[in-house]
Amino acid sequence: MTDSVIKGFPKGFLWGGAVAANQVEGGWNVGGKGLSTADMAIHKKDLKREEYEKHYKITNQQIEEAIVTQDASQYPKRRGIDFYHRFKQDMALFAEMNFKVLRVSIAWTRIYPNGIEEQPNEAGLRFYDELFDEMHKNGIEPLVTLSHYEMPIYLVNNYGGWSNRKTVDLFEKFAITVFERYQEKVKYWLTFNEIDSLIRHPFTSGGIVTERFPVDEVESVIYQALHHQFIASALAVKHCKRISPDAKIGCMLTRLLTYPESCAPEDVLLAHQENQLNYFFSDVQIRGRYPRHMTRRFAEKGIKVVMQPGDEEILQQHTVDFLSFSYYMSLVTSVNADKMDKVGGNIAGGVKNPHLKTTDWDWQIDPVGLRIALNDMYDRYHIPLFVVENGMGAVDHIDDDGQINDDYRIEFFRSHLKEMKEAVKDGVELMGYTSWAPIDLISASTSEMNKRYGFIYVDQDNDGKGTLERSRKKSFYWYQNVIETNGENL
């Protein structure tokens, strides 16, 4: 062996943070922006924090009411944290933290308000020009997601969202537009945020309103929409490489590492199958084909996915350069799960792990799981990895002196970064790390503000009241030092 021992994070490691347009921008009705699926989301105060799926549920009636409502007070993602007007101030704070990269997304509805326009909206394109210019001015590299939990509501109501093949063509046009416009400003791209989440919340991820389809067809509709996103992702890769040959474009997965509850072979097999299903979404985009185990799954569940001629070739010929993923928690499964204690807030529920603590939202905290996940993914794919979401939502309290001493957040990140460093020393090729989120924002699932992730506090409550003033938490200075020392000081 000639390889030297890896001692820590490589030179040029991309440290930073991640946000999404629909959770921070605001400005929902300015600059020619159209209505998106995210603009339909309300903060459901009557639901418990842990009722994850119910927060994502949306009905025809809710959509109809949202479309005619010009009020942003009920719709937190319409106001965000006013990043649309304050991004220069925020970028200065990110630069103060020594960010090397910032993950953002482009709102499709800023570029094509309804998704069907012949020409793009110049005001929207100009906004992202200004954003990327400001990032470069501060020494921050953009990492840009094409689709992050939003699409034009027009396409939902007139095409059925991603269930319609026509949406692939419209997305392809959008992707080409932004690749051409920003080819000199963006070197790192992602296609779909947490593409696997379409299975868990089809409206948020795919514009699928389930009540518009026969009950026995819903699962097929969802997997058909997923197939369309796979094709759209591959076509985006194709055009990115054509327009910007030196750019890197990746896919993104919610990494849901699943443990067996016991060493009983039945539990081990079930956990294996859960992990296998989680990898299905990255398998298609990295290996360029559907894994064979999905053929059996589709047949046994009566799921029908229609492929057009040439689809297999599109998937095979246009695979991604790297795999990015979010990691918040691990899961536990058992064949006897119905008789066991459950965890309420996990993204995908599951059996409670007695060895792990949980966050205020009942998400299980498992830093060692991140090391396991990194090694497992790298062993499986042998392509570069990128942690593009990792963090904890918490209720922050302001001390009498105005400070926020969020030691719990520091401990969360410290423990995860330690395990991430161990994975790098294990030989995992890791491009970078972007925390979710470096600044308080509107929660994706519950559309609330009190679920705070940031190193930067934003003065706004769940009802939109507050000055929107930004202030540094204790964790701000901790993460600043982490980046300054390239992860040596944790």
**In whole angstroms, what is the distance from residue 445 CA to residue 23 CA?**
11
Bridge-based pairing of strands 141-147 and 322-326 is: unpaired
3-state secondary structure of 324: strand
- Identify any residues that bridge with 472 across adjacent strands, giving them in sequence order: 456
**In whole angstroms, what is the distance from residue 104 CA to residue 303 CA?**
34
Element (H, E) at 325: strand 322-326
**In whole angstroms, what is the distance from residue 172 CA to residue 318 CA?**
14
Q: Which of 300, 293, 260 is nearest to 279 (CA)?
A: 293
Catalytic hit among 261, 274, 389, 448: 389
**In whole angstroms, what is the distance from residue 356 CA to residue 364 CA?**
6
Biggest CA pair distance of the chain = 67
3-state secondary structure of 190: strand
**In whole angstroms, what is the distance from residue 251 CA to residue 315 CA?**
13
**In whole angstroms, what is the distance from residue 454 CA to residue 172 CA?**
33
Cα–Cα distances in Å, from 236 out to 124, 156, 204, 251, 394?
20, 21, 21, 11, 36
| 431 token code pair | 């491009």
- What DSSP string runs through 428-476? --EEEEEEE-SB----TTT--SSSB--SEEE---TTS-S---EEE-HHH
Q: Which of 422, 428, 425, 488 is nearest to 5 (CA)?
A: 425
| Amino acid identity for residue 52 in this structure | Y
Is 389 tagged catalytic?
A: yes
**In whole angstroms, what is the distance from residue 402 CA to residue 404 CA?**
7
* Degrees to nearest 5, angle at CA 159 with 155 and 165: 105
The string over 287-314, giving b where at least 16 C-beta atoms fall within 10 Å of a residue's C-beta and e elsewhere, is ebebeeebeeebeeeebebeeeeebeeb
Q: Which of 212, 223, 254, 202 is nearest to 57 (CA)?
A: 202
| Amino acid identity for residue 484 in this structure | E
- Identify any residues that bridge with 333 across adjacent strands, giving them in sequence order: 260
**In whole angstroms, what is the distance from residue 128 CA to residue 103 CA?**
13
Within 10 Å of residue 401's Cβ, how many Cβ atoms? Answer: 6
The catalytic residues are 389
